[in-house]
Chain A
Amino acid sequence: MLATILKRLLGAIPNLIGVIVVTFLLTRALPGDPAAFFAGPAGTAEAVEEIRVKLGLNKSLPEQFLLYVRDLSRGDWGNSLATGQSVLTELTTRLPASLELTLCGLVLAVVIAIPLGILAATRPGSWIDHLCRGIATAGVSLPTFFTGLLLAYIFYFLLGWAPSPLGRLDPYLSSPPTVTGFYLIDSLLVGDLDVFVGAAKQLILPAVTLALFVLAPLARMTRAAMLGVLSADFIRTARAAGLAPTTVLFTYAFRNALLPVMTTLGMVFSFLLGSNVLVEKVFAWPGIGSFAIEALVASDYAPVQGFVLTMALLYVFLNLAIDIAYGLVDPRMRIDQ
């Protein structure tokens, strides 16, 4: 078991290196002279030269890369021009907001998509099957930023059910003391139900927007995997042995169908993290996506690069987690037997 996990950890290293190399290349691919860029439009010739030396731009590319890696590992991810704060600090304070939104969206999508996929697979040709196929095709066609706006229009402007789609919390509520950074959890920790409800209300629309987008691939894959597994020989054996239909469906079919679903989870996370940026912009969500977009518009590059790197690292670790979980679920993947 440990050996399996270790092997997966080692397997993630090339991806980690790849990610760091690419982000390094992106910092060096800035149009024109990066030093001039970082010095800003008001930068004097000396300032540019100073930055050039500070950034190590006068050194060879491999040396620059080593310096880059050294700075990264020291937590020196550069400073934001707009706030003057260290990028790493900015990102870590905003990350919980993004994670809370992403996870809620994912949970929502999983909770809907998996039962939907199972139902569709067990009743092929029924209305629920057609619904599932419809959602699978329509869902991936939704521009998240557009569905978000549409939801805000319907539920905020027309129906008045949802609060104003701005930020994580109503302005007159104060945010809970930071423990995890997740408002839903932090508010419960101090027992402040008003804040919990307030935070949940703000969260619902953006989370639903995200969920709508990733629901499609999940439902589609669950349906296909269940259909495949249900026609497998071992399901017939289980039925012939007189096992209860629920045992056959869940213990036998679903656990096996989970494997192909897990392999698509990586793609789902890719979609999720990408559309998270758009949803944050639509709902003025103070996460790292909004932060990056503001920086982009202001041509403030260090935060953008920090953001890309954070997302990539997050994604590498999510994939690693999926990989390890896969190894635990599927005995055939364990190497220490």
Chain B
Amino acid sequence: MSLLAVENLSLEFRTRSGIVRALENVSLELPEGGSLGLVGESGSGKSVLSFAILGIQDAAARITAGRIRFAGQDLLANEGRAMKALRGRELAMIFQNPRVALNPIRQVGQQIEDVLRRHTDLRGKTLRARAIECLAEVRIPDPERRYAAYPFELSGGMCQRVMIAIALACRPRLLIADEPTTGLDVTTQAAIMRLIRDLGHEKGMATLLITHDLGLAREFCDKLAVMHAGHIVETGPTEAVFRTPAHPYAAQLTRATPVGQDRLENLAAIPGNLPDLRRTDLPACRFAERCERRADDCAIPLPRYEVGAGHTAFCHHPTRLEAA
């Protein structure tokens, strides 16, 4: 049984200028201890999905259909009360731009303690000891001294480690990492990603990595889910998606990603922009208007196309293996 299962989730934002159908019929699965990369360009709904899983979506957001199951429990039951009990303890999340994602006027040790105090019975000296231990676990040198540091006194990489420490303080079974390396320099990026992977292995923790960087996802995730304009267009084992992408968007995205010695001029940019999700006349396939394989049937509900074992695409005109 999978640890996390999102089933046919739809979510919309009610704004002044209309209803934004930010997620439509989204499904994904993540097994215990597994790692799933959620990829797509900015604005495709990756972060919205992850916020919905944790129940921290914007007040204007409404989940209109679907279920989110975590270890068999329905997270949306009782107006999300089930989720509230698990958030921070069983499910945790880290964010991009770590320097602004921590409370600027609170010592980092105290911020870890806030989480521990909320979810455990630790108090006083043991609480502080555990907070320092958390800092040590994310390989922060001299954790006793760093305990009293403020975020502005730490580098971006250090702040991201602190955020990971906050997330992992209660040993969650699922970590959602939303662009964890954005805003960090390249060498720090690699170190942070290695830390997340190693800690995941050590603690048997599942990871949902949200990124627009396919190279990163390819390196760190067993499975991939490709998002476009609030739809999951293709999902499957990472290597399978890279080798035989069936959905034209996934195909273009994998082609657009630099791998190995690819030269810059070989990179394919994907033409067009994400469609305006407030439109009422969106075609069933939201990629249709940017797609080279567009045909009349793209306007009717999408069929599921099984590319291979556990590898699925949603398209009327997928790249068929036998044809390729």
Q: Please list the residues of chain A having a beta carbon within 8 angstroms of any beta carbon in chain B.
A: 232-234, 236-244, 247, 251-252, 255-256, 259, 329-332, 337
Contact = CB atoms under 8 A, between A and B. Distances in A.
16 contacts: A233-B95, A237-B94, A237-B166, A239-B56, A240-B87, A241-B87, A241-B118, A241-B167, A242-B84, A242-B118, A242-B119, A243-B115, A251-B106, A252-B103, A255-B106, A332-B152
B205 interface: no
B119 A332 contact: no
A233 B106 CA distance: 14
Contact of B102 (A237, A247, A251, A259): A237
B153 interface: yes
A244 B84 CA distance: 9
A332 B92 CA distance: 28
A337 B163 CA distance: 22
Contacts of B88: 240-243
A14 to B, nearest CB: 28
A234 B167 CA distance: 13
Nearest to A245: B84
B114 A243 contact: yes
B209 interface: no
A241 B105 contact: no
A332 B115 CA distance: 23
Q: Is the interface of B mostly helix, strand, loop or mixed?
A: mixed
Given A233-B95, A243-B118, A256 B56 contact: no
Given A331-B105, A331-B150, A332-B150, A233 B97 contact: yes
Nearest to A330: B105
B93 interface: yes
Interface in B101-138: 101-106, 114-115, 118-119
B181 to A, nearest CB: 15
Interface of B: 51, 54, 56, 84, 86-89, 92-95, 97, 100-106, 114-115, 118-119, 150, 152-153, 163, 166-167
B101 A256 contact: no
A232 B118 contact: no
Report which residue of B86, B97, B166 has the largest number of chain A beta carbons within 10 angstroms of its beta carbon: B166
Nearest to A247: B114
Contacts, number: 79
Nearest to B47: A236
Contacts of A244: 118
Report which residue of B51, B56, B118 has the largest number of chain A beta carbons within 10 angstroms of its beta carbon: B56
Contacts of A252: 103, 106
Given A331-B150, A332-B152, A241 B92 contact: yes
A237 B105 contact: no
A276 to B, nearest CB: 32
A252 B114 CA distance: 10
B104 A332 contact: yes
A42 B203 CA distance: 96
A331 B106 CA distance: 8
Given A242-B89, A247-B114, A256 B119 contact: no
Report which residue of A238, A244, A251 has the largest number of chain B beta carbons within 10 angstroms of its beta carbon: A238
A233 B179 CA distance: 13
Contact of A256 (B54, B93, B104, B115): B104
A331 B89 CA distance: 29
Nearest to B59: A124
A244 B92 CA distance: 15
Contact of B93 (A232, A240, A330): A240
A326 to B, nearest CB: 11
A333 to B, nearest CB: 10
Contacts of B94: 237
A236 B118 contact: no
Given A240-B93, A331-B150, 6 more contacts: A239-B87, A240-B167, A241-B92, A242-B88, A243-B88, A255-B106
